[in-house]
């Protein structure tokens, strides 16, 4: 039976960064990496840009082709892990093969959620979360089609934009009252919807799909809750995602709202760690564990998991929800709490020809921001959220055009200068950017 000092289930941002952290501290320990897909690690957030023709195949890869060999990793592509035994320290793959491990990382990510719609089983559909989904979409849009996208979250709206770039006639249906309802507020959502509608994407909000009927392959028809009927040649289901916790649950690991970990990314299972989109870890804004299914968050959690698997005691500093995306030339960036409850929060907003800006404060602490349009200075706001800095003296200047480092609280400036002098990155700096 094969034995690994480190076994990693998953092959995306968390897994790759964990491997690199391990190798920085342990150059000899054996690493086995089990990837369910046959591809080497790629940047999942880029699949819409691949479909739209903005990047090519080479631009999709997260690391060079020789990365696994350079890291001395036994990469096992296309091998789905079906079970793990915490007591025996073994993994079992879909082919029935077993392997032993010394320490394990669960970087299992998420799986698309498909709601129970009558007739869904009659129609072939795309969930648009993988490279294989992107390839199917490219093939199916070789000629103009009518596409129906169910769900107006980030995945659904990027799918709609990519489809429009391919020449498809696109309709988006969203059960809630606006697009991107979780990532944006009503005003920013309206700006995105205007850009999409100007690009001839039809957006129907406040209604869902009640019934589907198939007409062979990907063709079909949808009946909406308001009675409207839509024919389509291609259906994209983008209602949401769920954390993949089935392996952890079967191993009796706590998974309330995601795999539970401590500040070192350890689960309660002996020598079992977890990182990425399936994990509930500390959110610095909420002040409690939460799932932040974002690429840079997964990468950071993987980094700290790897450090601790290799023997350090490095606490994960926590992160917050952040989204940076662009729709038809309109960049939008949000972080932290953007739709606060009415009580206990102060909201400052500004809208002009340059775009729309908003900050949310709880007391004297910045806990949320949203910028649509000119986002040049948004990075300093996201770092203030991450650092939980007291902004009492500058709160009324946060949205000024000239707001910058000189306006930061003295303690924050001093800490950043000290970190820079030591050749280190300031706490929170750079943690909201994806790879």
We report the CATH number of the domain holding residue 69 as 3.50.50.60
Looking at the fold, whether 102 and 250 belong to one and the same domain comes out as: yes
pTM of the model: 0.90
Which of 275, 309, 343 is the last residue before a domain boundary? Answer: 309
pLDDT at 412: 55
User: What is the domain count for the chain?
Assistant: 3
Q: Residue 84, class by beta-carbon neighbours within 10 Å (0-12 exposed, 13-18 middle, 19+ buried)?
A: buried
Which of 240, 268, 296 is the last residue before a domain boundary? Answer: 240
**Stretch among 167-176, 238-247, 260-269, 350-359 having the lowest mean pLDDT:** 350-359
> pLDDT tens digit string along 375-415?
877 888 888 898 888 888 888 888 887 666 555 655 555 55
- Look at residue 280 and tell me if it is in a domain: yes
pLDDT at 387: 85
Which residues constitute the domain of residue 344?
A: 329-421
Share of the chain residues as helix, strand and coil, in percent rounded to the nearest 5: 25, 30, 40
424 pLDDT higher than 60: no
Separation between Cα atoms, residue 408 and residue 390, nearest integer Å: 9
Per-residue pLDDT, averaged over 22-50, amounts to: 97
- Name the residue among 365, 360, 411 with its Cα closest to residue 384: 365
Q: Crossing angle for the helix pair 13-25 and 295-309, nearest 10 degrees?
A: 30
pLDDT at 133: 97
Looking at the fold, whether 123 and 221 belong to one and the same domain comes out as: yes
Backbone angle region of 308, left / alpha / beta, with phi > 0 → left and psi within -120 to 50 → alpha = alpha
Which of 219, 240, 261 is the last residue before a domain boundary? Answer: 240
> pLDDT tens digit string along 87-132?
999 999 999 999 999 999 999 999 999 999 999 999 999 999 999 9
Per-residue pLDDT, averaged over 20-30, amounts to: 97
Looking at the fold, whether 229 and 124 belong to one and the same domain comes out as: yes
pLDDT at 405: 53
Separation between Cα atoms, residue 256 and residue 358, nearest integer Å: 33
225 pLDDT higher than 90: yes
- Look at residue 321 and tell me if it is in a domain: no
> pLDDT tens digit string along 50-75?
999 999 999 999 999 999 999 999 99
- Look at residue 287 and tell me if it is in a domain: yes
427 pLDDT higher than 70: no
Separation between Cα atoms, residue 332 and residue 306, nearest integer Å: 32
- Look at residue 314 and tell me if it is in a domain: no
- Look at residue 94 and tell me if it is in a domain: yes
Per-residue pLDDT, averaged over 177-199, amounts to: 96
How far is CA 75 from its chain centroid? 24
Per-residue pLDDT, averaged over 217-243, amounts to: 96
Looking at the fold, whether 253 and 362 belong to one and the same domain comes out as: no
């Amino acid at each position: 039976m094969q034995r690994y000092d480190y076994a990693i289930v998953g092959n995306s941002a968390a897994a790759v960064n964990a491997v690199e952290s391990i190798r920085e501290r342990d150059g000899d320990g054996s690493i086995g990496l089990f990837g369910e897909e046959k591809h080497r690690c790629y940047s999942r957030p880029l699949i819409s840009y691949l479909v739209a023709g903005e990047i090519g195949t080479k631009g999709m890869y997260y690391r060079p082709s020789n990365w696994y060999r350079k890291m001395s990793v036994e990469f096992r592509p296309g091998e789905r892990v079906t079970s793990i035994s915490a007591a025996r320290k073994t993994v079992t793959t879909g082919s029935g093969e077993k392997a032993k491990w010394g320490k394990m990382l669960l970087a299992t990510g998420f799986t698309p959620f498909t709601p129970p719609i009558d007739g869904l089983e009659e129609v072939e559909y795309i969930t648009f979360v993988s490279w294989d989904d992107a390839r199917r979409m490219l093939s199916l849009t070789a000629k103009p089609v009518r596409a129906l996208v169910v769900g107006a979250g980030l995945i659904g709206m990027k799918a709609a934009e990519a489809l429009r770039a391919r020449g498809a006639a696109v309709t988006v249906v969203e059960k809630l009252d606006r697009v991107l309802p979780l990532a944006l507020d009503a005003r920013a959502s309206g700006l995105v919807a205007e850009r999409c509608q100007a690009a001839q994407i039809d957006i129907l909000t406040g209604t869902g799909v009640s019934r589907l009927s198939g007409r062979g392959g990907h063709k079909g028809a949808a009946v909406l809750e308001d009675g409207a009927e839509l024919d389509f040649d291609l259906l994209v289901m983008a209602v949401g995602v769920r954390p993949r916790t089935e392996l952890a649950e079967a191993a009796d690991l706590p998974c309330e709202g995601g795999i539970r970990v401590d500040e070192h990314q350890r689960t309660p299972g002996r020598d079992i760690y977890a990182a990425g989109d399936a994990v509930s870890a500390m959110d610095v804004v909420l002040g409690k564990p939460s799932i932040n299914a974002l690429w840079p968050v997964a990468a950071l959690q993987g980094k700290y998991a790897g450090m601790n698997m290799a023997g350090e005691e490095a606490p994960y500093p926590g992160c917050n929800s952040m989204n940076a995306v662009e729709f038809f030339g309109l960049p939008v960036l949000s972080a932290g709490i953007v739709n606060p409850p009415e009580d206990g929060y102060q909201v400052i907003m500004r809208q002009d020809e340059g775009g729309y800006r908003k900050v949310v404060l709880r007391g004297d602490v910045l806990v949320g921001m949203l910028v649509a349009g000119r986002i040049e200075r948004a990075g300093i706001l996201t770092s203030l959220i991450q650092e939980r800095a007291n902004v009492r003296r500058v709160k009324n200047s946060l949205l000024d055009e000239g707001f910058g480092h000189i306006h930061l609280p003295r303690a924050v400036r001093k800490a950043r200068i000290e970190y820079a002098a030591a050749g280190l990155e300031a706490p929170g700096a750079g943690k909201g950017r994806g790879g």
